[in-house]
């Protein structure tokens, strides 16, 4: 039986000149950011079923109130979100409606840039707010993992992070790994990437005996494998794609939300007891038009919905300064009018998760974006 | 890097071990403009657009006529065939890149295909994506941008991908009739109009408004696929249907376009294609692709001027690029995309094709599935999108596998200087010399810093 990769990693870590990462983490809390790329439809995710205008403007696309999973007298969840609904019942899920970043146009790519950099406008800020958040964490454990091959923009920046995605490829042998390490010794970019890759592999192998499947629940468990470790990263980012439902929305959104629900279920089951220390924020770059379009879908809009899930969440609430869906209530006559800024919500959540000063966090994460003080506590103390 | 190494790598797809090193790099690049074939033999096995559209239309018709219970079976059968067509076309694209004696032009094909990205994430176009590259992109990369734009946005893959095929003018004949009968509302879809403005032509933040998007979308109504009632061979692959076109004049970016049926959207597309904003947008993307993630502004400026002056003549822009001193700067600053890295590795090893399904899997595993970017913006073209821990480890794993397939016949110590003439560093050379086996040496060459960048 040959040495496995994690044994090699340990040996390599001892030899490496750089200090061992993930050395000591000072905070017990975990934060997961799940981005919904493509503009997820908030109105059919957290459904305002009691709003008379909803069924009218959505027509055939409206979620049947009989099928929605009821949250309170005003809102219901899409029927695909059974796990999430269970969390709500257990006081471990809160929902935010009519949410938007400071961005007010309708380009996915610019909007994702704002959502991930925390800039007031697209391309003003070069690094990501999640990377800058790492810099605020106390003591060691200042690292993060993205469950992707490449680093998403929100996690790019001065602090090295790692990435991990389940792979079906045969693993490279140890002699080659060692020689690659030497080959990159004087190339600062490749050396840093390589060290982080080996760390992540070691951690993934240790935690789960190598999770190699790529379905949403497995991806959730893979993320949990990193976060559950005492010496592991405290922050993870997971990407979901495919939310741009211009046509055939009914079936596509149901599938997307089912996958998200499975991802959350995998994350929760993988984290075990650590779930109690975890906050998961789910957000998208903007919402979709209030009215259905001509092709069984919805077009790019403004206000969206966000979710906060986890054992650390003081949940069971829908937090919304509801703007209404009548024509006069809409942003530019077509979109849900935003009444809560992600530039406020993200810093609240991050500050409470890691017990930091919210104003300081807001200044670092979303500088100059008009942060507002929180109205309520979102997490357990 | 030496000038030959720059020509081979920065402009090309990497050297083939069985081809001579270009002695006059600039002439070698420019001569490719005349030598290239729009559809080289490697593409022979792939189905072309008329056949693919024919299959789509037959499916549409069969679904329409079938009883409810049989429809999903028909759709599934179509998607299975579409998936087979996709796999064959990916194999053709990879083989074409491996064999190409005109790799600069091949790179331009890939560049424009990504600029006008369609994604098989939308399953119903899975069969059509190969036809899009073969018939909309490949024949047009050496012509005027306007022709390329028209071919790309009117191709059935794009019409379906960005929902244009179903967009109906609310005041068109069909739209009014549906409203009269209080049928399920069918109407406008602005997806294609928005992406043409934002991604294909002017570029984001260039001054257009939501009203411009909506007006342009109205002008585009009527642009759709052929009727599924036509029997026999498909001759046209898209058409204009007056009955779903929104009547009336349209105002886009301050200019009014009188009612003119199909010509109305064509007139708008013409103005977009030759706009100074489009020139700047495309110049920046080309310079970023070939030169640096943050390209020199003076170079972008010169490319944009050439684009404008020539009325969007693409070869004139490419010639300006080849002539630019900035491009011949020695240091390799672009991190290769997964596709380009894999192709350059296979070319170095002398491979001329891969089994089709292996080509698909290889690109999937490396994180850049062919014709499947996450959005209509296509794949990112900057290093930070590709240079990451897990992605790097994948390349090492793939390199080991490719090296094992090559066997001990290839000596990396000889191959290195051939594929990276004058560009292989002393550290890499010594790592290759010290490797414990021929296979390890080859794998190290493929993941060396010099081979990962261009």
Kindly write down the DSSP assignment for every residue of A41-79, as one continuous string: -GGGTEE-TT-HHHHHHHGGGSPPTTTSEE-SSS-EE-T
Spatial contact of B105 and B60, defined as CB atoms under 8 Å apart: no
Which chain A residue is nearest to residue B426, measuring alpha carbons? A183
B185, B186, B401 member nearest A170 (Cβ): B401
Please report, to the nearest 10 degrees, the dihedral formed by the alpha carbons of residues B278, B129, B106, B30 taken in order. Answer: -40
Q: Tell me the β-bridge partners of A69.
A: A77
Tally Cβ neighbours within 10 Å of residue B287: 25
pLDDT at A16: 40
Q: pLDDT band for position A23 (50/70/90)?
A: very low
Best mutation target, B390, B391, B392, B442, to test chain A (most A CBs within 10 A): B390
- Give the tokens for residue A309: 């899930």
Q: Tell me the β-bridge partners of A95.
A: A307, A318
pLDDT at B2: 94
- Give the tokens for residue A64: 């049947």
A38, A107, A247 member nearest B189 (Cβ): A247
Would you call A305 helix, strand, or coil by DSSP? strand
Q: Enter the DSSP assignment of B206.
A: S
Q: How far apart are CA B285 and CA B298, in angstroms?
A: 14
A149, A187, A297 member nearest B391 (Cβ): A149
Averaged pLDDT in 10-residue chunks for chain B of 454 residues: 96 93 96 96 97 94 92 93 98 98 98 98 94 98 98 98 95 89 78 97 94 98 92 82 97 97 98 98 98 97 98 98 94 95 97 96 96 94 94 96 88 95 94 92 97 97
A165 in any annotated domain: yes
CB within 8 Å of A186: residues ≥ 6 apart: B427
The total number of structural domains that make up chain A: 1
Which whole number is the average pLDDT over A128-157?
A: 89
| pLDDT above 70: residue A333 | yes
The alpha carbon of residue A380 is apart from the nearest alpha carbon of chain B, in Å, by 34
- Record: contact A183-B427, CB cut-off 8 A: yes
Range 170-229 of B in CB contact (< 8 A) with A: 170, 184-191, 194, 198, 204-205, 210, 213
A380 in any annotated domain: no
Which chain B residue is nearest to residue A156, measuring alpha carbons? B384
Would you call A284 helix, strand, or coil by DSSP? strand
- Record: contact B184-A59, CB cut-off 8 A: yes
pTM: 0.86
The alpha carbon of residue B123 is apart from the nearest alpha carbon of chain A, in Å, by 11
CATH number of the domain at A324, please.
Answer: 3.40.720
Taking Cα atoms as reference points, which of B123, B135, B113, B107 lies closest to residue B48?
Answer: B135
| pLDDT above 80: residue A2 | no
Q: How far apart are CA B24 and CA A54, in angstroms?
A: 68
A182 in any annotated domain: yes
Given the cut 0.85, state whether the ipTM is greater than it. Answer: yes
pLDDT at A167: 79
pLDDT at A7: 37
B389: which chain A residues are within 8 Å (Cβ-Cβ)?
A: 151, 162-164, 193-194, 196-197, 200
Range 89-148 of B in CB contact (< 8 A) with A: 121
A180: which chain B residues are within 8 Å (Cβ-Cβ)?
A: 396, 444, 447
Q: How far apart are CA B316 and CA B142, in angstroms?
A: 9
Domain of residue A295 covers 23-365
B380 in any annotated domain: yes
B182: which chain A residues are within 8 Å (Cβ-Cβ)?
A: none
Phi, psi of A76 (to 5 degrees): -140, 155
Of A45-59, A194-208, B240-254, the poorest mean pLDDT is in: A194-208
A148: which chain B residues are within 8 Å (Cβ-Cβ)?
A: 388, 390
Q: How far apart are CA A150 and CA B338, in angstroms?
A: 11
pLDDT at A141: 59
Q: How far apart are CA A154 and CA A165, in angstroms?
A: 17
Q: How far is CA A44 from the centre of its chain?
A: 19
For B238-274, give the DSSP string: -EE-GGGSPPS-EEETTEEE---THHHHHHHHHHHHT
pLDDT at A140: 60
Which whole number is the average pLDDT over A74-101?
A: 98
B348 in any annotated domain: yes
- Record: contact A295-B166, CB cut-off 8 A: yes
Taking Cα atoms as reference points, which of B200, B39, B46 lies closest to residue B106?
Answer: B39
Range 302-361 of B in CB contact (< 8 A) with A: none
Taking Cα atoms as reference points, which of A62, A61, A43, A81 lies closest to residue A258?
Answer: A81
Q: How far apart are the first and last CA of chain A?
A: 49
Q: How far apart are CA A325 and CA A193, in angstroms?
A: 48
A244: which chain B residues are within 8 Å (Cβ-Cβ)?
A: 375
pLDDT at A25: 46
The total number of structural domains that make up chain B: 1
The alpha carbon of residue B259 is apart from the nearest alpha carbon of chain A, in Å, by 22
Q: How far is CA B110 from the centre of its chain?
A: 4
Q: How far apart are CA A311 and CA A303, in angstroms?
A: 27
- Record: contact B367-A150, CB cut-off 8 A: yes
B97 in any annotated domain: no
Domain of residue B393 covers 338-452
pLDDT at B199: 97
Which whole number is the average pLDDT over A82-106?
A: 97
A84 in any annotated domain: yes
B389 in any annotated domain: yes
- Give the tokens for residue B437: 């086996």
């Amino acid at each position: 039986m040959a040495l496995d990769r994690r044994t090699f990693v340990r040996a390599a870590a001892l030899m490496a000149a750089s200090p061992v990462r993930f050395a000591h983490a000072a905070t017990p809390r975990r934060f997961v950011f799940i981005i919904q790329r493509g503009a997820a439809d908030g109105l059919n995710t957290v459904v305002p079923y009691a709003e008379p205008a909803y069924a009218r403007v959505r027509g055939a696309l409206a979620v049947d109130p009989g099928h929605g999973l009821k949250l309170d007298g005003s809102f219901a969840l899409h029927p695909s979100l059974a796990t999430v609904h269970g969390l709500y019942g257990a006081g471990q899920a809160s929902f935010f409606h009519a949410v938007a970043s400071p961005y007010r146009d309708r380009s996915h790519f610019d909007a994702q840039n704002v959502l991930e950099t925390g800039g007031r406008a697209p391309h003003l800020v070069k690094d990501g707010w999640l990377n800058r958040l790492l810099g605020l964490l106390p003591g060691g454990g200042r690292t993060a993992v993205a469950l992707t091959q490449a680093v998403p923009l929100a996690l790019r920046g001065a602090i090295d992070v790692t990435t991990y995605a389940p792979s079906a490829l045969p693993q490279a042998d140890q002699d080659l790994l060692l020689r690659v390490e030497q080959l990159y010794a004087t190339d600062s970019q490749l050396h840093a990437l390589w060290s982080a890759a080996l760390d992540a592999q070691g951690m993934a192998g240790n935690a789960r005996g190598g999770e190699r499947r790529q379905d949403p629940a497995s991806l959730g468990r893979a993320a949990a494998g990193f976060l559950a470790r005492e010496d592991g990263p405290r922050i993870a980012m997971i990407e979901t794609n495919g939310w741009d439902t211009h046509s055939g929305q009914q079936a596509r959104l149901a599938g997307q939300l089912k996958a998200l629900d499975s991802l959350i279920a995998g994350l929760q089951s993988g984290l075990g007891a650590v779930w109690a220390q975890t906050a998961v924020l789910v957000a998208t770059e903007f919402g979709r038009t209030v009215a259905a379009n001509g092709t069984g879908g919805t077009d790019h809009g403004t206000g969206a919905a966000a979710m906060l899930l986890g054992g650390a969440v003081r949940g069971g609430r829908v937090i919304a300064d509801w703007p209404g869906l009548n024509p006069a209530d809409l942003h530019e006559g077509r979109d849900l009018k935003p009444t809560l800024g992600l530039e406020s919500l993200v810093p609240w959540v991050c500050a409470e998760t890691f017990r930091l000063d919210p104003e300081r966090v807001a200044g670092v994460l979303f500088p100059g974006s008009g942060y507002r003080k929180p109205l309520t506590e979102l997490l357990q103390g | 890097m030496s000038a030959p190494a720059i020509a081979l790598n920065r402009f090309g797809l990497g050297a083939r071990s069985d081809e001579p090193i270009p002695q006059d790099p600039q002439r070698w690049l420019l001569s490719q403009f005349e030598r290239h074939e729009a559809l080289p033999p490697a593409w022979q096995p792939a189905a072309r657009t008329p056949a693919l559209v024919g299959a789509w239309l037959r499916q549409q018709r069969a679904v329409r006529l079938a009883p409810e219970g049989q429809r999903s079976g028909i759709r599934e059968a179509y998607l299975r065939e579409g998936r087979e067509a996709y796999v064959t076309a990916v194999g053709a694209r990879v083989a074409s890149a491996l064999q190409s004696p005109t790799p600069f032009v091949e790179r331009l094909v890939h560049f424009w295909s990504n600029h006008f990205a369609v994604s098989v994430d939308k399953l119903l176009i899975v069969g059509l994506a190969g036809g899009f590259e073969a018939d909309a992109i490949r024949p047009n990369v050496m012509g005027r941008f306007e022709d390329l734009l028209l071919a790309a946005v009117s191709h059935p893959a794009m019409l379906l991908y960005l929902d244009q095929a179903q967009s109906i003018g609310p005041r068109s004949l069909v739209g009014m009739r549906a409203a009269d009968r209080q049928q399920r509302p069918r109407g406008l879809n602005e997806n294609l109009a928005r992406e043409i403005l934002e991604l294909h032509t002017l570029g984001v933040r260039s001054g257009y408004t939501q009203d411009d998007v909506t007006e342009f979308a109205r002008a585009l109504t009527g642009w759709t696929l052929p009727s599924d009632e036509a029997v026999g061979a498909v001759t046209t692959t898209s058409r204009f249907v007056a009955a779903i076109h929104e009547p009336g004049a349209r105002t886009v970016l301050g200019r009014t376009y009188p009612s003119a049926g199909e010509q109305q959207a064509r007139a708008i597309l013409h103005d977009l294609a030759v706009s100074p904003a489009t020139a700047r947008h495309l110049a920046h993307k080309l310079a970023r692709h070939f030169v640096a993630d943050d390209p020199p502004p003076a170079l972008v400026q010169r490319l944009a001027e050439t684009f404008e002056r020539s009325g969007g003549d693409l070869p004139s822009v490419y010639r300006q690029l080849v002539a630019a001193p900035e491009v011949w700067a020695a240091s390799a600053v672009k991190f290769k995309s997964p596709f380009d890295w894999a192709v350059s590795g296979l070319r170095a090893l002398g491979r001329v094709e891969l089994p089709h399904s292996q080509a698909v899997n290889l690109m999937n595993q490396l994180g850049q599935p062919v014709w499947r970017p996450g959005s209509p913006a296509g794949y990112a073209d900057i290093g930070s999108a590709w240079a990451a821990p897990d992605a790097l480890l994948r390349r090492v794993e793939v390199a080991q596998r490719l090296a094992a397939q090559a066997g001990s016949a290839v000596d990396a110590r000889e191959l290195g200087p051939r594929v990276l003439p004058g560009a292989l560093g002393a550290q890499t050379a010594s790592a290759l010399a010290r490797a414990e086996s021929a296979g390890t040496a080859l794998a190290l060459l493929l993941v060396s810093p010099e081979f990962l960048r261009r």
